[in-house]
Amino acid sequence: MAAIPRTRAPRPAEATPPSAEPHSIHAMGASARISLGRVFRAESANYFLLLGTTMFLVAFGLVMVLSSSSVDSYLADAGFFGGLIRQGGFALIGVPLMLVASRLPIRFWKRVAWPALLGASFLQGLVVFTPLGYTIAGNTNWLSIGGVQFQPSEGIKMALVVWLGMILEQKKDHLDDWRHVFIPVFGVGGGAVLLVMIGGDLGTVMIMAAILFGALFFAGVRLRLLAIPLVVGAAGAVVLALTSSNRLTRIMSFVNEGCDQLSGPISASCWQPLHGTWALANGGILGVGLGNSKAKWSWLPAADNDYIFAIVGEELGLIGAVVVLCMFILLAFAFLRIMRSSTSVMSRITTASVLVWVIGQAFVNIGVVLGVFPVLGVPLPLISAGGTALLTTLVAIGVVLSFARGQHSGSTAP
């Protein structure tokens, strides 16, 4: 009898071993941690010092903009939080832009240096040569397109610091030859500054001139070569001051000590400096308390912008003012540490240019509020209200952060 072939019953699908699924989940978790670790890997101490100081100043600035602008915003039917919402919106854009900029390699900044400077200069040309330019307090420094106003001169600052680093790196072996230095720096960079000078913004022109000379100094150009450009620049500043009755009145009031009276009528040119001084004096050591300023009740013009340091001194007192000064000193220290660690000529010069820009402008702004300088109309970086200024300053700091990252990762890509 033939044997009946036995058919094997189909085996049920093998169950996954109990340990397989947890192992897979564990592997995916480890992979995710590795990916996150690559994105958020530990940066250098210089990176976090600069980033932390910048974020503190931005957050502090938002608080002070809310306090100093609340009354004017309410009177303008924008509500008490109108100034904060506007400035906070720019901060929400600027901080991510800074972080994105910090991830870009140095070769990217070399590629965009020329297009950025030419583009910003073109926009500034629209300001001074077309009806699109908008004038405030005698300065034609704003571009109005579709109801949106912004300052291309701030974009020129941003482009200028990158361009100077790139061009002076190319000329590093010819710094003793004035033709290789002055023709590009004062021919191209000076031309961009001239566009702002035509608009009449003396304060911004002074900051941009400081950027040019600061870049040359830190690049190693001899001081004797800088003497003639300094004289020419000083003469240009005098001419710019004399061609505006508004600026001339403010400067003469400062020179003749016409803004120190304690009684009698106050002239228009002395109104802002005097009320700024009184706001600081009212603050004393401990201040009158956050939000309790009297000067912001339509007594002090530009309380949330050029004279925000006076509101800081009034509400937070001498202690608050000293904290702000210390934070800018810490910011300068971070810039200097990054410069010292730089192995690239471009990173060193660009970082130095940003240092001169941010710290120099803070020095001028605080000096104006303290009465050391005449009113020049420059905001306090990272703290004063102003969207274009905040965005460009944050991006410039992002460029320096990218250099700090390159130092930590050991990247030397050209």
CA distance 196 to 193: 5
Cα gap 149→296, rounded to integer Å: 24
CA separation for the pair 182, 175 (Å, rounded): 10
3-state helix, strand, coil in the chain (%, to 5): 70, 5, 30
Domain boundaries, the chain: 80-405
Compute CA 361 distance to the chain's CA centroid, rounded to the nearest angstrom.
Answer: 9
Q: Looking at this protein, which amino acid is placed at residue 233?
A: G
**Sheet of 133-136: strands edge to edge?**
133-136, 139-145, 148-150
pLDDT at 26: 54
pTM of the model: 0.85
What pLDDT is attached to residue 413? 45
- Integer Cα distance of 40 and 99 in angstroms: 12
Helices (H) and strands (E) in the chain, counts: 14, 3
* Confidence (pLDDT) at 285: 93
Radius of gyration of the chain (CA): 27
- Enter the tokens of residue 64: 């002070």
Q: Distance (Å, rounded) from C-alpha 172 to C-alpha 320?
A: 43
| Segments of the chain scoring below 50 in pLDDT | 1-7, 10, 12-16, 18-22, 25, 28-37, 39-40, 411-414
Whether the CB-CB separation of 296 and 66 falls below 8 Å is answered with no
330/344 Cα distance (integer angstroms): 23
What was the pLDDT predicted at 323?
Answer: 97
Tokens standing for residue 128: 């001074």
Closest listed residue to residue 41, CA positions, set 380, 318, 405, 331 = 405
Tokens for 351?
């970082």
Which residues, including other chains, have CB under 8 Å from residue 353's CB and lie 6 or more apart? Answer: 160, 161, 164, 165, 211, 214, 215, 218
**242: exposed, middle or buried (Cβ count in 10 Å: 0-12, 13-18, 19+):** exposed
Contact (Cβ atoms closer than 8 angstroms) between residue 109 and residue 159: no
Confidence at residue 121, expressed as pLDDT on a 0 to 100 scale: 94
Which residues, 6+ apart, have CB-to-CB distance to 229 below 8 Å? 182, 186, 213
137 torsion bin: left (phi>0), alpha (psi -120 to 50), beta (else) = left
Secondary structure, 3-state, 214-280: HHHHHHCCCHHHHHHHHHHHHHHHHHHHHCCHHHHHHHHHHHCCCCCCCCCCCCHHHHHHHHHHHHH
DSSP run (H or E) holding 144 = strand 139-145
Phi, psi dihedral angles at 359 (to 5 degrees): -70, -40
